[in-house]
Amino acid sequence: MDAISDSSMQHYRTLIDHPDFWPWFLDSSPVLHIGELPIASRPLSRPGTTLTFDTIRAIPWVFSWTQMRANVPGWFGLGTAFESLVLNDPERLELCRVAYRDGTTFRTFIDNAQQEMARARLPVTKAYSRPGSDTLGLVASEFERARAAILSVTGQTELLDNNPIIQQSIRERNPDTDLINTLQIELMHRCRETEPGPERQGLQVLMLLSINALAAAMQSTG
């Protein structure tokens, strides 16, 4: 587990430290709008600091990925770690399968990751993404690696086969949630293109309503 953790973190940092990542995140995600929510108990970043990955607080960081339907903090790095350390080693793979069947902390770790992945919708994330960055490709390739790892360890055919009630609930919510995402993307574009003033203020109100609606639909804020 220590080796898996180290490998996963190293790959996570390849995303965060990629030179294109932070400009992409600020431009593609609703993070700056989240900072305007009246329910926030804290600002986006520590007082007196510029908003960067090192200064952003945990809740808006996770919340932004949830709004974009990627849930990256919940699974990114897992696939690379298992691919390099477990999947090609029959003994280690069997140890992981036994640990999962035994219902230990390892099972909780795997199930938490697969629930976050099952709630993700990368085609929706792509609609948020501004062109000219490698970020979305890095996210998509790691998603496939993580999916393969989880299915290999659990013996499932699809993510969340072990929890069909939640699996079906996600499927039934997706069409309505996709629509809210589409509206939010349009509102982000209009806010970006509208000069400060009454019209921009009205768009910002609608933007905050879309954030609240998606939080309810995703049943998660961060």
Which stretch of 33-42, 83-92, 180-189 has the lowest confidence by average pLDDT?
A: 33-42
Q: Is the pLDDT of residue 51 over 80?
A: yes
| The pLDDT of residue 219 | 80
* Cβ-contact 142, 14 below 8 angstroms: no
pLDDT band of residue 38 (cuts 50, 70, 90) is: confident
* Cβ-contact 28, 130 below 8 angstroms: yes
Q: Is the pLDDT of residue 40 over 60?
A: no
Residues forming a β-bridge with 56: 45
pLDDT band of residue 44 (cuts 50, 70, 90) is: confident
Q: Cα–Cα distance between 71 and 80 in angstroms, integer?
A: 17
- Dihedral sign (CA 137, 28, 116, 51): positive
Q: Where are the domains of the chain?
A: 2-163
Residue type, 51: L
Q: Cα–Cα distance between 71 and 75 in angstroms, integer?
A: 7
15-43 core/surface letters (b: 16 or more CB in 10 A; e: else): beeeeebbebbebbbbbebbbeeeeeeee
Angle (deg, nearest 10), helices 105-119 and 135-154: 130
Q: Is the pLDDT of residue 202 over 60?
A: yes
pLDDT band of residue 50 (cuts 50, 70, 90) is: confident
The three-point CA angle 118-136-182 to 5° equals 65
Q: What is the pLDDT of residues 66-94, one digit of tens each?
A: 999 999 999 999 999 999 999 999 999 99
Q: Is the pLDDT of residue 144 over 70?
A: yes
- Dihedral sign (CA 61, 16, 21, 151): negative
